[in-house]
Structure 1
Amino acid sequence: MPQKNPNPKHKSQNRAGLLRHLNTREVLAMLLKHGGLSRADLTRLTGISGPTITRTVQDLLDAKLVEEGEPSKALLGRPGKMIHLASSKAGVMALVIGQDACEISASGLDGKLQGNLDRFPMPRSYSEFLSLVSQKLKLAKPKNGVKLMGLGVSTPGLFNLLEHKISSCPSIPFLENQMLAKDLEANTGFETFLLQEMHALCLAESIFGESRNLSNFAVIDITHDFGLGVVSNGQQLQGHLGLAGNLGKLPIDKNGATLDAVATDDFFCKTIARLADSKIDIQGAINLFRGGAVDAMNEINLMIDHISTGVATVVNLFNPERIFIIGKLLDAHPDLFVNLLEATRRKSIKASFIGCTITRSKANSRLGAVSAVIGKLTTGKKFSLK
Structure 2
Amino acid sequence: MTTKPKASKHIGKNQTSIKAENTSSILRTVHGTNNTSRADLVRLTGLTAPTVSRIVSFLVEQGVVTESPGASVGVGRKPVVLHFNGRSRYIVAIDFSWAHVRTALMDLGGGILDHTERTIDPKGSIKTEFERVLETVQELLNRHRGVKVIGLGFSAPGLINSEAGVVISVPNFPSIRNLQARQLLQTRFGFPTFVINDANAEAVAEKFFGQGRDASDFVLVHLGYGIGAGIIVGGRLYTGNFGVSGEIGHTSVDRRHGKWCDCGNRGCVELYAGLRGILEDASAQIGRQLSFAELQQLGAEGDAKVLGVLKEKGELIGYTIVNLVNLLAPQRIIVTGQVAALGAPILEPMKRIITERCFYHTADQISITLSSLSENSTLLGAMTVVLDDFLENPYDFLTVREERRH
Which TM-score applies when normalising by structure 2? Answer: 0.80
Partner in structure 1 of residue 389 of structure 2 = 376
Task: Give the Å deviation of 1:346.
Answer: 1.3
1:222 alignment partner AA: L
Partner in structure 1 of residue 336 of structure 2 = 326
Task: Give the Å deviation of 1:160.
Answer: 4.1
Which shows bigger deviation, 334-343 or 147-156? 334-343
For residues 306-345 of structure 1, the C-alpha deviation after alignment (integer angstroms, 9 at most, x for no partner) is 1110110100111211111113444445465344222112
Partner in structure 2 of residue 346 of structure 1 = 356
For residues 247-305 of structure 1, the C-alpha deviation after alignment (integer angstroms, 9 at most, x for no partner) is 22223257434310222333334444445556554344212321346642222111111
1:310 alignment partner AA: T
1:201 alignment partner AA: E
Provide the rounded CA distance (Å) in 2 between the counterparts of 1:121 and 1:227: 23
Provide the rounded CA distance (Å) in 2 between the counterparts of 1:127 and 1:58: 46
In the alignment, does 2:303 pair up with 1:305?
A: no
- Assess, with a 3 A threshold, how the Cα gap between structure 1 residues 52 and 332 changes in structure 2: closer, same or farther: same
- Assess, with a 3 A threshold, how the Cα gap between structure 1 residues 74 and 50 changes in structure 2: closer, same or farther: farther
Partner in structure 1 of residue 47 of structure 2 = 48
For residues 44-68 of structure 1, the C-alpha deviation after alignment (integer angstroms, 9 at most, x for no partner) is 4323344433322221122232344
Which shows bigger deviation, 343-352 or 160-169? 160-169
**1:154/1:196 contact within 8 Å kept:** yes
Matching residue within 341, 344, 347 for 1:337: 347
In the alignment, does 2:29 pair up with 1:30?
A: yes
Alignment of 1:225-236 (within 5 A): 225-236=226-237
Partner in structure 2 of residue 108 of structure 1 = 107
Partner in structure 2 of residue 131 of structure 1 = 131
Provide the rounded CA distance (Å) in 2 between the counterparts of 1:313 and 1:190: 40
2:325 alignment partner AA: V
Provide the rounded CA distance (Å) in 2 between the counterparts of 1:281 and 1:24: 51
Partner in structure 2 of residue 200 of structure 1 = 201
1:118 alignment partner AA: T
Which runs of 5 or more residues in structure 1 are unaligned? Answer: 1-13
Partner in structure 1 of residue 64 of structure 2 = 65
Partner in structure 2 of residue 3 of structure 1 = none
In the alignment, does 2:253 pair up with 1:252?
A: yes
- Assess, with a 3 A threshold, how the Cα gap between structure 1 residues 160 and 350 changes in structure 2: closer, same or farther: same
**How many percent of aligned residue pairs carry the same amino acid?**
23
1:194 alignment partner AA: V
Task: Give the Å deviation of 1:378.
Answer: 1.2
Provide the rounded CA distance (Å) in 2 between the counterparts of 1:65 and 1:125: 41
SS of residue paired to 1:344:
helix
- Assess, with a 3 A threshold, how the Cα gap between structure 1 residues 177 and 335 changes in structure 2: closer, same or farther: closer
**2:24/2:393 contact within 8 Å kept:** yes
- Assess, with a 3 A threshold, how the Cα gap between structure 1 residues 184 and 162 changes in structure 2: closer, same or farther: closer
Which shows bigger deviation, 348-357 or 78-87? 78-87
SS of residue paired to 1:296:
helix
Partner in structure 2 of residue 8 of structure 1 = none
For residues 95-132 of structure 1, the C-alpha deviation after alignment (integer angstroms, 9 at most, x for no partner) is 110110000001111112223x2111115322223433
2:87 alignment partner AA: S
- Assess, with a 3 A threshold, how the Cα gap between structure 1 residues 144 and 331 changes in structure 2: closer, same or farther: closer
Which TM-score applies when normalising by structure 1? Answer: 0.84
2:73 alignment partner AA: L
Partner in structure 2 of residue 176 of structure 1 = 177
- Assess, with a 3 A threshold, how the Cα gap between structure 1 residues 54 and 239 changes in structure 2: closer, same or farther: closer
**2:279/2:292 contact within 8 Å kept:** yes
Partner in structure 2 of residue 267 of structure 1 = 277
SS of residue paired to 1:190:
coil
Provide the rounded CA distance (Å) in 2 between the counterparts of 1:109 and 1:96: 17
Provide the rounded CA distance (Å) in 1 between the counterparts of 2:130 and 2:311: 42
Provide the rounded CA distance (Å) in 1 between the counterparts of 2:164 and 2:281: 39
- Assess, with a 3 A threshold, how the Cα gap between structure 1 residues 274 and 335 changes in structure 2: closer, same or farther: closer
Provide the rounded CA distance (Å) in 2 between the counterparts of 1:48 and 1:239: 34
- Assess, with a 3 A threshold, how the Cα gap between structure 1 residues 52 and 155 changes in structure 2: closer, same or farther: same
